[in-house]
Amino acid sequence: MKGIYTLITISFLLVSCGGGDGKSAADRIKEQAQMEPTDPYENWESNNGIGPIKDLTLPAEINQDMVARGQEAYESKCTACHKAEKKFIGPSPKGILERRTAAWVMNMILNPEEMVQKDPLAKKLLIEYNGSPMANQNLTEDEARAVLEYFRTL
């Protein structure tokens, strides 16, 4: 007997949640899920960011000359806010290519102002870092590419 009452109560709840527009509760939940914005951190693989680099495929082999140049630039222009091994004012660049595309990283270095304003992932990162923005250190494209090569060795 009790089971039947529970069933009736559940059916009643489902019907009343559906409201007067003929949509079932299940339909509403589905609709809501479709409206939820997708998580930009999860969609990183399809995000090249906004800026001068449209697409970038890295050669399999790491170029050690480039790494040396990149490390030098990184140490003089980035370590005020980034530490290789741990979170500091900004995130650690260790393993960055496991969570960002190469083009995205380049655009973040070359065009951070626009990135934190318009790119969904960079916007989320800015919030996570309490609104302290990534600084434009005016690297040339070449220098930025060398820093990226250095990041591959961390």
Residues near ligand HEC (CB under 6 A) = 74, 77-78, 80-82, 89-91, 93, 96, 100, 105, 108-109, 116, 122, 125-126, 129, 132-135, 137, 139, 147
CB of 147 to ligand HEC, least distance (A): 5
CB of 64 to ligand HEC, least distance (A): 19
Distance CA 72, CA 92 (A): 17
Closest to ligand HEC by CB, 34 or 130: 130
Distance CA 9, CA 114 (A): 53
Distance CA 89, CA 86 (A): 10
CB of 58 to ligand HEC, least distance (A): 15
Check if the beta carbon of residue 49 is closer than 8 Å to that of residue 118: no
Distance CA 136, CA 19 (A): 52
Closest to ligand HEC by CB, 51 or 93: 93
